[in-house]
Amino acid sequence: MYAREQTTSSPRYAQVATFMRLPLELAPTGRDAVVVGAPYDGGTSYRPGARLAPRQIRHESCLLHGVGIDRGPGVFDLLDVVDGGDIDLSPFDMQLAVDEATRALTRLAADNGAVLMLGGDHSLTLPAMRAAAAKHGPLAVLHLDAHSDTNEPVYGGLHHHGTPFRWGLEEGVIAPGALVQVGIRGHNPAPDSLDWVRSRGGRVVRADEVEGRAEVDALAAEIAGQLAGRPLYVSVDIDVLDPAFAPGTGTPAPGGLTSREVLRLLRVVGDLDPVGFDVMEVCPPYDVGGVTSLVAAEIGAELLYQYARSRPGTQHHTDSTTGGTPMTISVTEQPIVDVSGEEAALHALRTSLPEVPRADLHGYLERAVGSAEQLPDALAAQLDDFRARGNQEGYLLLTGLPQDADLPTTPTSTPAPTERPLIAGEAWLALVGGRLGLATGYEELRSGTVYHDVYPSPGAHYLSSETSETLLEFHTEMAYHRLQPRFVMLACSRADHEGKAATLVASIRNALPLMSHEAVDVLFDSPMPCNLDVAFRGGEDPGPQAQVTVLYGDREDPFLGYDRELLVPHDEAHARALEELSGALDQVTRSVQLHPGQLLIVDNYRTTHARTPFTPRWDGADRWLHRMYIRTRDLVPDGTRSGDVVAFVPR
């Protein structure tokens, strides 16, 4: 798509200027990303001129190539991007402009992957966030700005460039607790306006809290923790930069961030789930030598890089010599095994299993262990290797498994009736699990059943609550249990309606290089008090009843026992080391959205996992997974059978 040859046939200052010399396509559809100009500055409170920015940013962006020494493959080899031209906005009527921008951006977002908007004044971020939320649901927002932009309306109008994040929170397009503002400083906003945004769960990071590489990296880790698990919108007001770097803006504020700090901070975006971007408030009439438009173009390019990095099939390299944040994009193998070519063989194995598994579960599972010997060779080899060595990401995703044509409605109670016929997802769990080891039930969980139906239930509604705390309940399954499962397997019969629910997995093999040697020293082979999940302790909380060793085994390639909610560090050194580990795990979090016909195997000794919220509809077609726990044969006493149920033994 990208006319690479143009860079050799035509000098960079020649031809009509589009963003980064991308092809121009008005009303684009089906693109990975679209760059669009929003030439409007009717919301400006001081120096006007941002309406001229899209043209000027495009002009300066012609110097940028889309490949670079610190970035790996070219961004336009990874993403299909076009310049979608400008949105036409009335310069005479603010409400008309906001409405028209909402309409145009909603259509662009619906028809394409992500939209990068070049402002324009900051009032237009509200329409852009509305468009992204209409497609993806309530947003997490990373907002870089000298100003909080959560002001009240003034001069009789509803909107101006100081209001978009107020209305974003009020309208619910920003999820409560999911706004992080960075770079805030100066004479406006007044201190009490920060109270307003904080009272709504927003986090405000002042400019003087972010100086230099170490503070930027620490902040990036915190941002990853707070904003992971939701669709992310990134809004950059160019005045977040010090006027020394960006003089061409309407309301400059001295004491801002450097270009290098902002570009480094934005590298966290690719670790998250970005869905939309903007760069606002460039005001060319006050610029000097085009530097403000140039840095705006560079920020836009960085955001496109980060978008490419966030997508499946691309993944970052980490600069392990410095323990720094991700530096480059590289295309890597995902831990995915596609078995769609093995339908006949898999079907035959399924029909070898009894049709009513719970009638004689031990007999059924024994049959599955036998049938697992006949799994297709390539799949069997992958499973054997994963059991023996694990992999870098700590999970294996099987896709293309045959599904039932006539799936029952999603259950609303547990356990499943004994007479329920076999479901395809359950068959694959038994066969794959039979290859890995022995299915295990836990007496205190789900009435000691071996197969768990995982479905939304009114009693578990807190999982959909809007607090950031419940989004990242990272845990290693039963870390505090001596008979902890080696693998956790999830098979999907139905995805959630909106396709939002994701399983998050963070691997210690990815996180360890980001940690200091001191923190590893503190955690390695050093037990830490741990509370028990309610299922194992009953109603009353007796406090920490187990001792969990967070890092253990091979010091260079350790196992992980981690629970964000339940671990209780017993001294300051352990608290700090655990915090460092948490930040590292946040940085290497991968998101897996399960679809029917997929089965996820989580390496429960090398990872921690969590699930993002979704909204049930109670229509019989809500998300439905099947779960099974596996212990490998080396972990169990002789005579243990697949399907045995064990009682709690605290570590």
Considering only residues 116 through 145, tell me which ones interact with Mn ion, judged by CB under 5 A. Answer: 122, 145
Cβ atoms 79, 86 nearer than 8 A: no
Nearer to Mn ion (CB atom), residue 163 or residue 587: 163
- Strand partners of residue 349: none
- Of the candidates 21, 136, 147, 230, which one interacts with Mn ion according to CB under 5 A? 147
Minimum separation from the CB atom of position 159 to Mn ion (A):
13
Nearer to Mn ion (CB atom), residue 119 or residue 558: 119
- Strands across the sheet containing 607-611: 590-592, 503-507, 607-611
- CA 162 to CA 425: how far, in whole Å? 51
- CA 459 to CA 457: how far, in whole Å? 5
Nearer to Mn ion (CB atom), residue 250 or residue 326: 250
Ramachandran assignment for 338, one of left (phi > 0), alpha (psi -120 to 50 degrees), beta (any other):
beta
Minimum separation from the CB atom of position 512 to Mn ion (A):
39
Residue span binding Mn ion (CB under 5 A) among the ranges 96-104, 232-240, 471-479, 494-502:
232-240
Residue span binding Mn ion (CB under 5 A) among the ranges 229-237, 343-351, 384-392, 599-607:
229-237
Dihedral pair phi/psi, residue 315, rounded to 5°: -160, 155
Cβ atoms 548, 528 nearer than 8 A: yes
Nearer to Mn ion (CB atom), residue 239 or residue 298: 239
- Residues 163-192: x where in contact with Mn ion by CB under 5 A, - otherwise, as a string: ------------------------------
Nearer to Mn ion (CB atom), residue 163 or residue 468: 163
Q: Is 146 in the site for Mn ion (CB under 5 A)?
A: yes
- Of the candidates 32, 41, 83, 149, which one interacts with Mn ion according to CB under 5 A? 149
Nearer to Mn ion (CB atom), residue 116 or residue 397: 116
Q: How many residues bind Mn ion (CB under 5 A)?
A: 7
Nearer to Mn ion (CB atom), residue 239 or residue 533: 239
Q: Is 38 in the site for Mn ion (CB under 5 A)?
A: no
- CA 298 to CA 498: how far, in whole Å? 34
Minimum separation from the CB atom of position 250 to Mn ion (A):
8
- CA 443 to CA 649: how far, in whole Å? 11
- CA 117 to CA 98: how far, in whole Å? 14
Minimum separation from the CB atom of position 239 to Mn ion (A):
4
Q: Is 60 in the site for Mn ion (CB under 5 A)?
A: no
Nearer to Mn ion (CB atom), residue 286 or residue 524: 286
Residue 115: which H helix or E strand, with range?
strand 114-119
C-alpha of 114 from chain center: 15
C-alpha of 383 from chain center: 27
- Residues 233-262: x where in contact with Mn ion by CB under 5 A, - otherwise, as a string: ----x-x-----------------------
> How many alpha carbons fall within 13 Å on the CB side of residue 473?
13
Q: How many helices (H) and strands (E) does the chain have?
A: 18, 25
Interacting residue ranges for Mn ion, rule: CB under 5 A: 122, 145-147, 149, 237, 239
